[in-house]
């Protein structure tokens, strides 16, 4: 993912904040206040996963109404989802894994993207294709910090956003690695806070997450 983000001082999603919230939106009406709370807490890069019928509408609303947010689409697994995400106003794309077809579609979108990897061979294959920034998923299950530390020596040109099983206790260990730009997680979005629309709590948890980088 090498293209600069529009209207952003950072050249990469990996450099916007130490944590990228991974958001599952079930009610599109929650998207804007949720995004505002995350941005106010210091987490401007927001990955809205395409796991619910409300996801595309949520991306569209955030893109239109929360100008300080850098909203992206996550769990992108088809070229059609790439096209829908671009049309909705997504500013970056994240996939849990990749194929040649999906990679070509993400490249053609013109947006920064993080294809998912969990093996050394997948990392090398992406480096061959000129992709240097990736999602490491599922991070904890795939080897965690020990695995990423092992990759830093032979593949220093690869940078990662580990996601999957990471919380506030483990995030600093990931963020301390030289090949990790940020982590993805959802711990700042507890289900009971979302259900109660307690955006103040979300903002407070986001602020704590934004301060995690060591």
Residue 123: which residues within 8 A CB-CB, separation 6 or more?
117, 134, 151, 155, 158
Q: Which of 65, 128, 133, 135 is catalytic?
A: 135
**Do 155 and 128 meet the contact criterion of CB atoms below 8 Å apart?**
no
Q: What's the rounded Cα separation, in Å, for the pair 8 and 205?
A: 24
Active site residue 107: no
What are 80's two structure tokens?
């059609």
Helix axes 55-65, 31-40, angle to 10 degrees: 50
Judge whether 128 counts as a catalytic residue.
no
Asked if residues 21 and 44 have their Cβ atoms less than 8 Å apart, the reply is: no
Nearest to 161 by CA among 177, 144, 183, 145: 183
CA–CA distance, 209 with 30 (Å, rounded to integer) = 21
For residue 91, give the nearest of 74, 104, 72 by alpha carbon.
72
* Cα–Cα distance, 211 to 153 (Å, whole number): 28
Q: Which residue has the tokens 């990996």?
A: 14
Residues identified as active-site? 47, 135
């Amino acid at each position: 993912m090498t293209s600069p983000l529009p209207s952003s001082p950072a050249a990469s999603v990996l450099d916007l904040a130490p944590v990228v919230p991974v958001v599952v939106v079930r009610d599109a009406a929650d998207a804007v206040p949720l995004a505002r709370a995350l941005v106010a807490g210091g987490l401007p890069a927001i990955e809205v996963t395409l796991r619910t019928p409300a996801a595309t509408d949520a991306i569209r609303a955030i893109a239109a109404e929360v100008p300080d947010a850098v909203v992206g689409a996550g769990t992108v697994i088809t070229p059609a989802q790439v096209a829908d995400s671009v049309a909705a106003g997504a500013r970056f794309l994240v996939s849990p894994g990749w194929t040649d077809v999906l990679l070509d579609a993400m490249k053609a979108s013109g947006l920064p993207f993080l294809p998912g990897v969990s093996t050394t061979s997948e990392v090398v294959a992406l480096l061959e294709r000129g992709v240097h920034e990736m999602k490491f998923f599922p991070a904890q299950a795939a080897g965690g910090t020990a695995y990423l530390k092992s990759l830093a020596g032979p593949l220093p040109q690869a940078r990662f956003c580990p996601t999957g099983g990471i919380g506030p206790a483990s995030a600093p260990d990931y963020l301390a690695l030289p090949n990790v730009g940020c982590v993805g997680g959802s711990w700042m979005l507890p289900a009971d806070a979302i259900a109660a629309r307690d955006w103040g709590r979300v903002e407070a948890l986001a602020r704590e997450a934004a301060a995690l980088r060591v």
